[in-house]
Structure 1
Amino acid sequence: MTAKVRVGIVGTGGIARARHLPCLTENESAELVGLCDIKPDVLKKAGDDFDVAARYTDYLEMYDNENLDAVVVCTPNDVHAPATIAALERGINVLCEKPMALDPTEGEAMLAAAEKSGKLLTFGFHYRHMPEVMAARRVVDSGELGDVYMVRVQALRRRGIPSWGTFVHKHIQGGGAMIDFGVHLLDSALWLMGNPKAIEVTASLSQRLGKSPNVNTWGDWNYQEFTVEDQVAAFVRFENGVTMMLECAWAINIPESRENISLSGTKAGLEVFPLSVNKADHEMLTTWKPDWIADAKLDPGAHQAAEFVNAVRTGGTVVTKPSQALQVTRIVDAMYRSAESGEAVKL
């Protein structure tokens, strides 16, 4: 393909306006040719702000009328699967925002549609495109850590419950803090681990702070209709013997919000945020931190968009594979099932 990639956007709300619309507008190899949103006022503002004339309230009409090469799906989670599958069936490449789907059954249908169509399907796990995460992957690939056997993941906000959109409605989103926020850190951790297969998940969850009015740095939220979790604690076992402990919360009483992935290996350990490597050598305990990271000022959203557009143009590859996104969905689903049953869930 030598011409610009013709791209449409399904869902022109917060994530589209904050990331995908500006990143695609600035990409010289892409052309935004169509927008779709069920809310006419939101659609009009996005179309006016980003100078896109073709506007639809039905994504099927956009797919059928705009001769699209690619589409970015930025809808609430319950529309991810149908919008993605419909695009793939029409021969359109897809970048779908995270999470993959509401549950593994939907995710499996999306993967099957991609395999049948032969088109590209990837997902918006943009943490993989952060300079620190890419640098951490280079450290892991070098073998400096030895055999990684223990992983700790933290995705914790002191008080940051989303106060817009449909985030607090389980029937629309499939879950709360974990499916919205925790999946980013979980996905990146799995990528750094080499995506081993999870075999057992144990988890508990809480709605203690989300279901009553309280201090929230992101404004007032709809606590009366809060049907998701605000906190999750989980333990995951993998077939290669590695274990993972995970903590995730939209709102929890800690001194400050924090995000981190920690990998412990037989030769060294690695912390991702901020990046450091911890070792025992020369009869000393040492910690090294980088003075400079390649592409330190790189915007993850722009890097993700460029990778997707380039892959569509050239038939190249992307870092986030559908099978990897499906494992994230399976693990999160197992967390919810374990929390509900009070028992470990086998995968």
Structure 2
Amino acid sequence: MANTKVAIIGGGQVAETKHLPSYSEIEGVEIVAVLNSNKENARQFALKNNIPGYYGDIHELLKKEQPDLVSVCTPNKYHYEHVTAALKAGCHVLCEKPPSILAEEAKEMMELAERKGVVLSYNFQHRFSLEARRIREEYRQGKLGDVYHINLSALRRSGVPGWGSFIDKDLQGGGPLIDIGIHMLDTAFYILGFPKVKKVTGKMFNKIGPYKSEGSFGQWNPEKYEVEDSFFGFIELTNGGLIQISTSFALNIKETKQLNAEFHGDKAGATLYPLEIYSDHKGELVSLVQEDMVEDHAERRAIHSFVRKCRGSAEEDIASGEEGFKIQTIIESLYKSAELGESIYI
């Protein structure tokens, strides 16, 4: 059987530390090319990682290499352009989060993948964690009961990225909400089976990033800081439930960072990190499930599942184009709410 040919679009840190190692573990997968807007950078990346082809133009890459799968690891602004080009060429596509900057673009990509009969997936790796899978299983079995409140946190005390384009609103579409908060948002909706949303309300702040120049994640130019440094939102579900999300690059909190999802049901509650399911009995906390998971490789499982799906494994559970569109719609609506100062109905 011929090898599965993979092309990497965007030769940066995410591609090198997540995508390449994950693909290299899969038998019969061959990385054939890398693309970078700067062809010399693509050449250097290819030499460093033993990749035979390198390009500065995606259409040239797709025509000459004819890859089976494409991983899109470019800045958010270019996801739509690169995903669309690969889908039109008949390639299966795995795109880094977020799907795009605009929900309409995510919808177009979803519909294009359906018309072409190819797989479109997004790399929401936290839904592939052992903790998320276990809570989802327990929730579906009814152990938590009616989950009516969820609290999501993706917070950094001093974690403005000092590299890449994370503070550039034009390239990224936003700050911590679209970068790290989106992970917990997807994980919660995955666990709950993607309940329908009624309306969202958001509030964002820009109190620290434009006035500092360094933090634990490196240095940045405050004059070029264009995104929110914290975002707080409410998502009301049609079933009456409520999701709260708090996310930040910079916020005066006690911990260095917080990354968690808490689920409150009428039978039990649960936390994602660390995994625990608990209830109350006569005023005393009762632990129903408590596990310290071994070192997890959720991002690798995400990519491995994507490859198996593309190879025809129907039962593979991936972050689909449709789910990506739903998450993108919520993100866009939260930003719109914060900008307008009013709730947005979906």
TM-score relative to the length of structure 1: 0.95
Aligned to 2:136: 137
The count of corresponding residues between Structure 1 and Structure 2 is 344
Aligned to 2:177: 178
The answer on 1:308 being equivalent to 2:301 is no
Runs of 4+ with >4 A deviation:
none
Letter in 2 for 1:259: L
Aligned to 1:67: 66
Deviations 1:135-159 (A, max 9, x none): 2212212210011111110100111
Aligned to 1:116: 115
Check whether the contact 1:13–1:42 (CA below 8 A) recurs between aligned residues. Answer: no
Aligned to 2:260: 260
Report the CA distance between 1:41 and its aligned residue.
4.1
Report the CA distance between 1:315 and its aligned residue.
4.6
Instruction: Give the secondary-structure state (helix, strand or coil) at the position aligned to 1:164.
Output: coil
Deviations 1:182-239 (A, max 9, x none): 1001100111111011120101001111112244101101221111111000011011
Separation in 2, partners of 1:189, 1:175: 21
Check whether the contact 2:200–2:345 (CA below 8 A) recurs between aligned residues. Answer: yes
Give ranges in structure 1 of 5+ residues lacking alignment. none
Report the CA distance between 1:281 and its aligned residue.
3.5
Aligned to 1:102: 101
Separation in 1, partners of 2:319, 2:345: 25
Give ranges in structure 2 of 5+ residues lacking alignment. none
The answer on 1:46 being equivalent to 2:80 is no
Letter in 1 for 2:249: W
The answer on 1:92 being equivalent to 2:91 is yes
Check whether the contact 2:151–2:262 (CA below 8 A) recurs between aligned residues. Answer: yes
| RMSD (Å), alpha carbons | 1.5
Report the CA distance between 1:30 and its aligned residue.
1.2
Aligned to 1:278: 278
The answer on 1:297 being equivalent to 2:295 is yes
Report the CA distance between 1:55 and its aligned residue.
0.5
**Map 1:189-208 → 2, pairs under 5 A:** 189-208=188-207
Aligned to 1:168: 167
Report the CA distance between 1:287 and its aligned residue.
2.4
Letter in 1 for 2:149: M
- What percent identity do the matched residue pairs reach? 32
Cα 1:331–1:66 shift into 2, 3 Å: same
Instruction: Give the secondary-structure state (helix, strand or coil) at the position aligned to 2:211.
Output: coil
Deviations 1:124-177 (A, max 9, x none): 101111122122212212210011111110100111111111111111111111
Separation in 2, partners of 1:284, 1:247: 29
Report the CA distance between 1:48 and its aligned residue.
1.4
Aligned to 2:154: 155
Report the CA distance between 1:321 and its aligned residue.
1.5
Of stretches 317-326 and 201-210 in structure 1, the one that deviates more from structure 2 is 317-326
Separation in 2, partners of 1:125, 1:222: 29
Deviations 1:267-311 (A, max 9, x none): 001111111112124774312453454xx3341122112111111
Aligned to 2:343: 344
Separation in 1, partners of 2:183, 2:145: 25
Separation in 1, partners of 2:192, 2:231: 21
Separation in 2, partners of 1:82, 1:318: 26
Letter in 2 for 1:103: L
Instruction: Give the secondary-structure state (helix, strand or coil) at the position aligned to 1:28.
Output: coil
Report the CA distance between 1:241 and its aligned residue.
1.3
Check whether the contact 2:123–2:303 (CA below 8 A) recurs between aligned residues. Answer: no
Deviations 1:44-84 (A, max 9, x none): 23211221111001111111111211100000011111111
Separation in 2, partners of 1:29, 1:232: 43
Separation in 2, partners of 1:282, 1:162: 46
TM-score relative to the length of structure 2: 0.96
Separation in 1, partners of 2:2, 2:297: 25
Letter in 2 for 1:278: Y
Check whether the contact 2:278–2:289 (CA below 8 A) recurs between aligned residues. Answer: no
Aligned to 2:237: 238
